[in-house]
Amino acid sequence: MKYDFLSIEKKWQDKWDAAHVFEAQDGSEKPKFFALVEFPYPSGAGMHVGHIKAYSGLEVVSRKRRMQGYNVLFPIGFDAFGLPTENSAIKYNTHPRILTDRNIEKFSQQLKRVGFSFDWTRVIDTTDEDYYRWTQHIFVEMFNKGLAFRDTALVNYCPHCKVVLSNEDSQGGKCDICHNDIVQKSKDVWYLRITKYADRLLQGLDSVDYLPQVKQQQVNWIGKSTGAFVNFSVKGADEGEMLRIYTTRPDTLFGVTFMVIAPEHPLIEKYRDRITNIDALDEYKTECAKKTEFQRTQLVKEKTGVKIEGICGINPVNGKEIPIYTADYVMMGYGTGAIMAVPAHDERDYDFAKKFGIDIIEVIKGGNIEEAAYTGDGDMVNSDFLDGFTNKKDSIKRMIEVLEEKGIGEEGVQYKMKDWAFNRQRYWGEPIPIVHCPTCGMVALPESELPLRLPAVENFEPGEGGESPLAKIESFVNCKCPKCGGDAKRETDTMPQWAGSSWYFLRYIDPKNDKAIADPEKLNYWMPVDWYNGGMEHVTRHMIYSRFWHKFLYDMGEVNTEEPYAKRTAQGLILGPDGEKMSKSKGNVVDPNEVVDQYGADVLRTYILFMGDYGAAAPWSDSSVKGCKRFIERVCDLKTIIQGKGETEKLTSAFHKTIKKVSNDIEDMKFNTAIAAMMGLLNEIFEVGQLTVDEFKIFIRLLCPIAPHICEELWEEIGGNGLCSLAEWPSYDEAKTVDSTVEVAVQVNGKLKGTVMLALNADKDTALSVAKADAKVASAIEGKTVVKEIVIPNKIINIVVK
């Protein structure tokens, strides 16, 4: 049967809308289910099939949960601040507000066409001043608690985008937005002290149900290492001058033959008068500064460096004098910017020592230090009081005890994660609500002055020096200090794109509240997010940032849970038909609108979920879409064979099995096998050639979360009560999912010889005698001695003969 999907789909979308079926109820007695998907950035290009896949997973789970009686909150919104819109604004000379509204409208239309069961009464837009008023509120709280601060630092600067980027946004020395090389620049920037929460962000992972790879990436990102700080006194420097280093292997202290400090290390500046080769050091530093991050981390890590003449370190455990080098393999940004080098047991130190002809002293046995650094475990040697220690845990512990006793070092922890560079010199972002007062310093705006609105500007281009377009608006910049009332100037930088998305899920709970982020009672009811699904690309940045904000809000008493997301899963990419990542330049992008035009939303939804493992990447295939279209059409054809003759035994058991499988598979996000099971059932029904109205209704309800429009239409035609989307989810009888007789495979010496039909749970003797009666089995064992007989009930029989 052909069906007019375009009018059917529109009809039901309108009916759902009119009946408010997908609106979440506050304060309901029902169990709640808060399903969250990553809200889109409304780009000018419109939606992508990837968006549809990202939302389809929890869409199906949400629809099923509603049918199971849950009060479901499945919201959507728009993360609309950001550079692409601002760049379009410059290009087309149109205000980003206008572009954003236009794009949001477009996205909303597309989402509605696919029939997603979002609660459209709770839509949020991060660029709405009623929304960013609360983003600013959180920033002010952080500022007042000392978690937002300003510092001059070497920052990652993108000359193309003219913005400072966080470490996270400049991985591999490339700008995350335009992919051009970034440069290091000294600038005054805002930071959020996320490092203060590093340990809690790590520990919190124990209490949540995230995909293992999601957890692993976050653990790696936080990058906790434990070790020790050790203070080396410096000969030739002032009395009491200490060169402080961080090491994970303090127990190798007796193997130290040199030290290395980063080229930017302050020790060099401090003692430039006493260092006899300062010119060479200056030259080296300049050379290093010229290298891009990419060059500095090139695959071939040829070590470079310069020995510092005039000062040297003293090994605190044995008093030996050791040379100090500067080299760019040591970075100022990690640890103390200085290391003790143990070439015998560290590959980098080994390479450096070989190149510069420095001694190599073995302190851990097990390798051959003539040939390579030995980084494995082994007995300690040449190490005084550590000699004879056989285990690294013990030797580290002992050394730390000694260091602490003597006051020359202590146990310490380091994180790879750095504080979050939190400002951009751009227009289309949340203004940072801070005033610079000549007398009071930096002052946060009081709550009553929030929101601090973005002023109208003529020109969105950032200034040449990289300052924000807001800096040119005098009426915005000049203001009174909220504290002393004197003349002051506003901060002109804006927040990065990640700000608005760091707390958005909270706003869905109470999107119109003008007194608080959300009403505490409602927060209490809805939080935490029960299930969050999104892309792997957001696992380290967005998720860590938002967990950090949430923990801060928890500490402030503004939210009731320490972790925002109870469960996190991720969908895989949809690749182009050529198997490559979809991109405009490759011309392999599939437009969801075109698919809906041609096949309808139900077919699009079914295909996207049927493509393969939801968590894995899979290429788009136009011909496979047709297979799903056939499936939907064949479901419509079921109507023609409905009969009142009563149930057939074969189908009854098939239905119970399918209900069980579909119910479980949806919860496990195994949508492909859920659909396959329904296809299988459909085939069986056509083989039997008849089914009852009740069976048909079960089928329609099982399919409803996946292809809701056609199911509503069929439900109506068959005289179902109310809306199919609100009908009760079918239940199954476990006893009816198992057959009374089972087909059991019979093997002889592990080779399949045939199958026999046995009663369920038939005993071993019966099973064997039936098996041996099989002609093929009998001939295979004839004249041989039976060595062993294995019977796994309902599964397999294996007869071992000789």
Task: Name which of residues 654 to 673 contact RNA (CB under 7 A).
Answer: 670, 672-673
DSSP single-letter state for residue 588? -
In terms of phi and psi (left: phi > 0; alpha: psi -120 to 50; beta: otherwise), the region of 374 is: beta
Q: Is 548 a binder of RNA (CB under 7 A)?
A: no
Nearer to RNA, 141 or 349 (CB): 349
- At 625, is the secondary structure helix, strand, or coil? helix
680 near RNA, rule: CB under 7 A: yes
Q: Which residues of 14-29 are buried (b: 16+ CB within 10 A; e: fewer)?
A: eebeeeeebebeeeee
Q: Could you say whether residue 735 binds RNA (CB under 7 A)?
A: no
Per CB under 7 A, the segment of 69-77, 379-387, 434-442, 624-632 that binds RNA is 624-632
Backbone angles phi, psi at 383, to 5 degrees: -130, 30
Cβ 550 to RNA shortest distance, Å: 22
Cβ proximity to RNA, 567 vs 626, nearer residue: 626
Contact call for residue 326 and RNA (CB under 7 A): no
Q: Which of residues 428-467 bind RNA (CB under 7 A)?
A: none
Q: By C-beta, is 337 or 462 nearer to RNA?
A: 337
List 216, 286, 391, 769, residue binding RNA (CB under 7 A): 216
Task: Provide, rounded to whole angstroms, the least separation between the CB of residue 445 and RNA.
Answer: 35
Query: Any contact of residue 392 with RNA (CB under 7 A)?
Result: no
Cα→Cα distances 770→266, 685, 763, 780, Å:
86, 31, 11, 15
The verdict on 290 binding RNA (CB under 7 A) reads no
Q: Which is nearer to RNA, 250 or 720 (CB)?
A: 250
Closest CB to RNA among residues 51, 174: 174
Q: Of 433, 442, 444, which Cα lies nearest the Cα of 151?
A: 442
Q: Is 612 in the site for RNA (CB under 7 A)?
A: yes
324 binds RNA (CB under 7 A): no
Q: Does 265 bind RNA (CB under 7 A)?
A: no
Q: Measure the CA–CA gap between 522 and 520, rounded to whole angstroms.
A: 5
For residue 178, state whether it binds RNA (rule: CB under 7 A): no
Task: Give, as one character, the DSSP assignment of residue 730.
Answer: P
Tell the smallest beta-carbon distance from residue 50 to RNA (Å): 14
Which range of residues in 216-224, 425-433, 522-530, 582-590 is near RNA by CB under 7 A?
216-224
Dihedral (Cα; 339, 344, 347, 351), 10-degree rounding: 90
Q: Closer to RNA at the Cβ: 154 or 800?
A: 800
Q: Which is nearer to RNA, 26 or 351 (CB)?
A: 351
Q: CA 81, 82, 84: angle at the middle one, nearest 5?
A: 130
Rounding to the nearest 10 degrees, give the CA dihedral for residues 663, 667, 671, 676.
Answer: -30
Site for RNA contains 524 (CB under 7 A) = no
740 binds RNA (CB under 7 A): no
Which position among 153, 566, 693, 800 is part of the footprint of RNA (CB under 7 A)?
800
Binding span for RNA by CB under 7 A among 195-203, 235-243, 364-372, 743-751: 743-751
Nearer to RNA, 461 or 789 (CB): 789
Question: Of the ranges 116-124, 483-491, 555-563, 786-794, which one interacts with RNA (CB under 7 A)?
Answer: 786-794
Which residues within the stretch 343-372 sit at the binding site for RNA (CB under 7 A)? 346, 348
Q: Using the rule CB under 7 A, give the single segment among 3-11, 114-122, 391-399, 674-682 that binds RNA.
A: 674-682
Q: Specify the residue, 512 or 764, whose C-beta has the smaller distance to RNA.
A: 764
- Coil, strand, or helix at residue 189? strand
Q: Among 64, 187, 249, 538, which residue interacts with RNA (rule: CB under 7 A)? A: 249
Q: Does 542 bind RNA (CB under 7 A)?
A: no
Sign of the CA dihedral running 420, 421, 422, 424: negative
Q: Which of residues 682-701 bind RNA (CB under 7 A)?
A: 683, 686
770 is a contact residue toward RNA (CB under 7 A): no
By CB under 7 A, name the one of 741, 776, 784, 786 that touches RNA: 776
- Asked if 772 is part of the footprint of RNA (rule: CB under 7 A), the reply reads no
Look at residues 175, 152, 9, 172 and name the one whose alpha carbon lies nearest to residue 83: 175
β partners of residue 190: 150
CA distance 458 to 521: 44
Q: Rule CB under 7 A: is residue 738 a binding residue for RNA?
A: no
Contact 77, 506 (CB under 8 A): no
Contact pick of 32, 106, 307, 634 for RNA (by CB under 7 A) = 634
Could you say which residues in the range 182-211 bind RNA, by CB under 7 A?
none
Rounded CA gap, 189 and 167, in Å?
A: 13
Under DSSP, the state recorded for 250 is G
| CA-based nearest residue to 616, from 40, 41, 53, 114 | 53
Contact 58, 79 (CB under 8 A): no
Least gap, CB of 360 to RNA (angstroms):
15
Shortest distance (Å) from residue 605 CB to RNA: 15
User: Per the structure block, which two tokens stand in for 131?
Assistant: 């929304």
Interface pick for RNA out of 40, 82, 335, 343 (rule CB under 7 A)? 335
Task: Kindly state whether residue 315 participates in binding RNA, applying the rule CB under 7 A.
Answer: no
Among 152, 448, 475, 623, binds RNA (CB under 7 A): 623
Please give the order of strands across the beta sheet that includes 420-421.
163-165, 148-158, 183-192, 420-421
Q: Does 479 bind RNA (CB under 7 A)?
A: no
> Among all chains, which residue has been given the structure tokens 């004098």?
321
Buried b (16+ CB within 10 A) or exposed e, 527-558: bbbbbbbbeeebbbbbbbbbbbbbbbbbeeeb
The strand ranges marked E within 424-495 are: 434-437, 441-444, 478-480, 487-490
| CA–CA gap between residue 307 and residue 96 (Å, rounded) | 54
104 near RNA, rule: CB under 7 A: no
Task: State the nearest-atom distance from the C-beta of 626 to RNA, in Å.
Answer: 5
Q: Which amino acid is at 204?
A: G
- What is the 8-class DSSP label of residue 243? E
With CB under 7 A as the contact rule, which of the stretches 32-40, 69-77, 328-336, 395-403 interacts with RNA?
A: 328-336
Q: Strands 478-480 and 487-490, how do they pair? A: antiparallel
